[in-house]
Structure 1
Amino acid sequence: ERMLTAEVYPDALITLNKWYDEGHIIFFFTSRTEAHREYTEIWLKKHLFKYHGIVFGKPRGGNYHWIDNHLVKATRYRGHFTDLVEKEVTIEVFDDGQHD
């Protein structure tokens, strides 16, 4: 099974386990299906990842919306792990009638 032999991304284990130890809630959001849960959990355990849960069935292609009534922090992986930095960006939100 290819999933069991995949390599760990450089710095992924150190970074994610550090965030976990700092009190961050760590969830993996994956397009793998629920049928791949066992292999995914075996791989994460084998490589000693600390995490709280996995959400399976993420839509492919990136054109989806995560809708929640609470603030959602998402960290986009773009090829390497670093310390997090603050960045001002424009986002689309529902119109709540409050305008600056």
Structure 2
Amino acid sequence: MSNHDLKTLRDEEGKLLSPILSDEIKNFLIDIDGTICDDIPNEEPERMGTCSPYPDALEIINQWYEEGHIITFFTSRTEEHRKITEKWLKEHKFRYHGLLMGKPRGGNYHWIDNHLVRATRFKGKFTNFVNKNKSIEVFED
């Protein structure tokens, strides 16, 4: 990501605020187990270092990285699995910016934010995105 992709803002006192991504840059939060490789539970950490990545996931994620998008893996693996996870990502040549551990296990996530959030449920294959109209739950006006 280059500096021209970020908008620098300051508050009333001149203090630097968090950078804002340009409209062309996506900020991806990507699960690991069951999304970029087989679903490996935390109770079987010995499998974390030996599983194979899904080839389409590796290709598309690295393509997004090269296009300048932000790639952060957000996993239910615990902090004790950080080293083996980082080693696995490096060995398989995943390009990324961050790794967040300790995502709550299970599903039915509801992300509430003051920024636009786009969620895409992984259904077995990484491909490029297409536009579709779908029904979503939103806050009542």
**TM value normalised by structure 1:** 0.85
| Structure 1 portions without partners, runs of 5+ | none
Which residue is 1:30 aligned to? 75
Matches within 5 A, 1:57-72: 57-72=102-117
Matches within 5 A, 1:1-100: 1-95=46-140, 97=141
CA distance in 2, matches of 1:55, 1:72: 18
CA distance in 2, matches of 1:63, 1:76: 11
Cα pair 1:17 1:50 within 8 Å, conserved: yes
Higher RCO structure, 1 or 2 (CA under 8 Å, sep 6+): 1
Q: Which has the larger share of helix? A: 1
Q: Which 4+ runs in 1 deviate beyond 4 A?
A: none
Of stretches 24-33 and 41-50 in structure 1, the one that deviates more from structure 2 is 24-33
Q: Which has the larger share of strand? A: 2
SS, match of residue 11 in structure 1? helix
Counting matched residue pairs gives 96
The Cα of 1:75 is off from its aligned counterpart by 3.1
User: Pairwise CA RMSD of aligned residues?
Assistant: 1.4
% identical aligned pairs: 67
Cα pair 1:10 1:80 within 8 Å, conserved: no
CA distance in 1, matches of 2:119, 2:64: 13
CA distance in 1, matches of 2:119, 2:85: 21
